[in-house]
Structure 1
């Protein structure tokens, strides 16, 4: 678990980046993880992952605000309590559409915003690693971070004037490269790459050190091998 000193409140209201975090209804989120932790714990972990992700993002000095795109009232209330703004999702349209919807909501209020989308399942996210990713990304119209397996994507950014053009799901790293987005090649950003879909992923996140919400649920639980 991270120590309290590793997360400080973001007191700079002029941070340039707005982050969009899409989140499925908890009843459907993290379905693959259920094979490792069980059906009762799965939705609670999905919310804890999102809470730790949003908490770390809001603690990053380069982040101005966080917009969560969700239709889940429980998750929306919990994340709003942390300081995020929530906007309603359009579930039938899919993940990419939710990300675009969130980006439009940001730019409707602040037309010149630099926007990044971030997966909601990064329970080990470190504010300092996110800050380094955002600093790197500011030099390019679009940039992305591949997941720990080097197949998917956990982060995609668009600087002012650039369209987000998300292509998440499956082999999204290749699609984002083909679209012209620059891959963030920084060392030591494992917490930004560490999304959790399976029990193996959860064990890896626990090794990195998860935030307080995930730690509270996983302390008494040892994830079993994925079945």
Structure 2
């Protein structure tokens, strides 16, 4: 699952990063959507991933993800990220009671499918998580086939997930650990190589 906020509320610390003097009022929302589309595209191509679902109540996001072949399920309005993930996990488990569920942050525009697949393989079927580049947040959370996802996203989520029994995955997966919240993060992701949606948005010619 990849949770995607309503675009007008997403990535507030990136305000201005996509505009760069163009005075385009839709630039920020378009960048937030591009980050999610690149994340979803990589996830859909990762070894070990059978199905990718976006959790969103934003009609524009739901339409855009359908265009890249990804299904969506509605969020619980006002419930927050962890509630959205628990809701999505319940729906997926209802469809397949033995499914192993993963939650992936929607702001990984440099994500490589092979790195995500390697992290999933390294988890060896157990409940696990991948810390972000700073080591405090979480970019990926995995359930086991018999345990709940039990998400604890938010400040200090890596420690919270470890405390809840999700083993930390610390492999050499820079694109999986590089979530983007600030312009500095975006610069680091660009050095790794952005996906086509994000790179196209940032390199789009000025009107």
Q: Distance in 2 between matches of 1:81 and 1:138?
A: 33
Of the three residues 45, 70, 74, the one matched with 2:60 is 74
Count of matched residue positions in the alignment of Structure 1 and Structure 2: 200
- CA-CA distance at 1:28 after TM superposition: 0.5
The answer as to whether partners of 1:37 and 1:199 remain within 8 angstroms in 2 is no
User: Which aligned segments of 4 or more residues in structure 1 are displaced greater than 6 angstroms?
Assistant: none
Query: 1:180 deviation in Å?
Result: 1.3
Q: Deviations over 1:88-136 (max 9, x none)?
A: 1112111001111111111111111011000011000101000001101
2:178 equivalent in structure 1: 194
SS in structure 2 at match of 1:65: coil
Instruction: Give the match for residue 22 of structure 2.
Output: none
Identify the residue that residue 118 of structure 1 maps to in structure 2.
104
Alignment pair present for 1:209 and 2:193: yes
Does the 8 A contact of 2:125 with 2:145 survive in 1? no
Structure 1 pair 37/82, CA: closer, same or farther in 2 (3 Å)? closer
Query: What are the within-5 Å matches in structure 2 for residues 13-92 of structure 1?
Result: 20-38=1-19, 40-92=26-78
TM-score normalised according to structure 2 size: 0.93
Alignment partner of 1:156: what SS? strand
Q: What does the per-residue CA deviation read over 1:165-205, in whole Å, with 9 as the maximum and x for residues that have no partner? A: 10001111111111111000212x01111111100010011
- Provide the residue aligned with 1:150 in structure 2: 135
CA deviation after TM superposition for structure 1 residue 139, in Å: 3.6
Distance 1:220 1:47 in 2: 15
Deviations 1:22-46 (A, max 9, x none): 0100011001110544464221111
Q: How does 1:141-180 map to 2 (within 5 A)?
A: 142-180=127-165
The unaligned stretches of length 5 or more in structure 2 are 20-24
CA distance in 1 between partners of 2:165 and 2:194 (Å): 32
CA distance in 1, matches of 2:204, 2:101: 37
**Scaled by the length of structure 1, what TM-score is found?**
0.85
CA distance in 2, matches of 1:97, 1:138: 26
Contact 1:48 1:213 in 2 (8 A): yes
| Alpha-carbon separation, structure 2, partners of 1:31 and 1:99 | 21
